[in-house]
Structure 1
Amino acid sequence: MASSPIDECIGVFRWVLDVQSEWPCSDSIKSGREAATLWALGKDNQRALNFLTAEEREKVLRFYHIRDVKLSLGSQLLKHCAVVKSCRVPWSESRISKHDNHKPCYVPKNGSGKHLEFNVSHHGSLVALAGCTDKDTQIGVDVVQVDTVKDVSKVRQEGWSSWVSTYAAVFSDREVQDIAIWKPSGSLDGDALLTAKLRHFYAHWCLKEAYVKMTGEALMAPWLQDMEFRNVQAPRAASDLSVKDSKEDWGEAFSDVEVWRDGKQVTGVRLELQAFRDDYMIGTASSRLDAPYSPYKLLDLQQDVYSAAEAN
C-alpha cells in the first residue's frame, strides 16, 4: 500500500516492520544473553544497533530470546525514524521522551518545532507504529498474531466457554457472552470453526488494547470491564479476499465497531481494525475523528529506515 509523504500527512501515519524478514535467522537455536550478544556481532545487526543510543542498545540486548531482541530493535528504529521523517530533525536529535503516563512521544528542544504523538506494538514478527504530529491527538496501536495451532489445542482441552472465561478480567460481561456464543455465518466445523471464533476473540482483544494504549493506561485499568465494544467483526484475511480486491499482504479493514462505557456510547474516538496476511490483525485508535488514517506501509529497513538514519 502506497502512502503520501509523511511530512505532508495531516492525520495518522501507520507503519509495519517484519523483523523476521529483515533479520532472518532461526529464533529457536539458542536463547540467553550469550545468544543475543553473538547475534549482535553480525555485520547487518551491528549496523542497526549503531543507530541507537548506548542506553537503547543495552535495553535491546537484555532480552532472553533472539526474537524479542529483534522486536525491541525494530521498535526503537521505528520510533527514531518516525521522529526524523515527521518532524524533520536529524537522527542524532531524535531523542524519545515520555508523557507523565509513560507513553512515548517526541518533544522538540525549547518547544520549537513539530511534536510527535505515537504508539508502538509488536507481536509475532511484526512491529507496528502509528503516529500524528498533532500534539493534542492521542494514538494507540496494537498488533496480534492469531496462533491457531497453539490456541486450538488449548481450546480443545479446556472447551471454548472455559477458555474464553480465563480472559473475563479484560472484558465486560456482555463481551464475554458475545465472544462465547458467537458463531460465523456458513457451515464451518472442526478447526475451521475454531479458527473463525479465535479471530473474533482476537478482534475484541486487539481493539481493546489499542483503545487502552491510546488513553495511556494498561489492561489493568480499573474501568476496563466497564468499557465494551459492540458490533465487533474480524476483518477477512488477505487470502480470503478475491484477487481483484487483494492488495498484496493486506486483508480487510473494519471500522464500524461501537464503544460503550458505563452504559453510554463513547463518541470522539476513531477505531479501525486491519487484517494483515493470514494470521495478523492491527488495531488503531485515535482521539480525533477527523484525522485521516494513512494506509499501512510495510517498511524496508534499507530504503525507509537506514536511509533516514544515514542522511544526516
Structure 2
Amino acid sequence: MRIGLLGAGPWARMTQAPALAAHPGVVLSGVWGRRPEAADALAAAHGTRAYTGDAGIGALLDASDAVAFAVPPDVQAPLAARAAAAGCHLLMDKPVATTVAAAREVAEAAERASVASVVFCTLRFAGGTAGWIAEQAAAGGWFTARALWLGALYAPGTSSEFAASPWRREKGGLWDVGPHALSVLIPVLGEVTEVVAARGPADATHLLLRHTSGASSTVTLALDAPVGAVGTEVEFRGERGTTALPEGGGDALGAFGAAVDALIDAARTGVAHPCDVRFGLRVTEVLVGAEAQLGPVTAA
C-alpha cells in the first residue's frame, strides 16, 4: 500500500515516518509539511519525496492509496475529508477533530467514498495493552472503572518538543490524553451515555461517565501536573475482581505499525475496524460535551 504522510513535525519524525518507512507492506509515497524545510528533511531521511503547499497535497493524494496524519486536529479534519474524497484510506491521529461538525464531516466523507479508516489511539494497538483491552471487553461484568492520565509537559526543566504545540496548550489534557482514556474505557464498558465534567488545578479535568453496560467510570486528565504526580493508570472492578492496565504496554513505533496493519486489513476486507473514524467521532462528541461544562483553565 502506498501511504503518504501529512505532517512533518516531532510526532511524524519520531513515529509515523519511521514506522511507515520500515513497514514491509508499505511504500512511503511522500511527506507533506506546512514548513518546506521540515518536509524536505523528513522526506530525505526516509528516501521519499517532499510536498508542500495546497498543490502538494493534491499531488501526494494522487500518488497514494492511503494517507497518515501527524498534524493538529483542526488541520487534520478538513485534510482527511479531502483525502477520503480523493479515494484515499485514512490513518488518523487522535483526536480526529475538536468539533463535532468537523469530525462528522470526515466520517461522512469516508462513508461516501467507501474508504477504510483507523484512528491511532496508542493503547488500542500496542502489543502489551491491545490484548488486555480485548480480554476485559470479553469478560464483562464490570461495575466501575477509573482512568488517570497525568503528564508534566510544561513543568520547569522538561524538554518535550510537544510543549511547543499551540493546540495542546489551548485544549489541555482533556483533548490530548482524553482520547487515550476513552479508547480503553469504551470498548470495555460500552458507549458513553452521560458525562459530568469539572475543572481541577491547572489544566486538570475530572470526568464522571455512565456507559451503556450500566457501569460508571471516573477519569482524571492533565498535561500540566507536577513532575511527581505523573502517571497513567486504568483499573476495572467488577464481578471477577480488579484488573489494571499492564505497565510498559509497548513502544509507539510498534503500535503504529500495528495500526498500519489494521488499516491494510480493513481496506482489503471491507470490514470496519472498531477504532475507526466513526469511533473518533463518538470520542469527539464526549469531549465536546465535557468541555461545554468546564470553566476557564486556572493556574496550578
**TM-score surpassing 0.5?**
no
TM-score, structure 2 length as denominator? 0.27
Select the structure of larger CA radius of gyration: 1
Structure with the higher helix share, 1 or 2: 2
TM-score, structure 1 length as denominator? 0.26
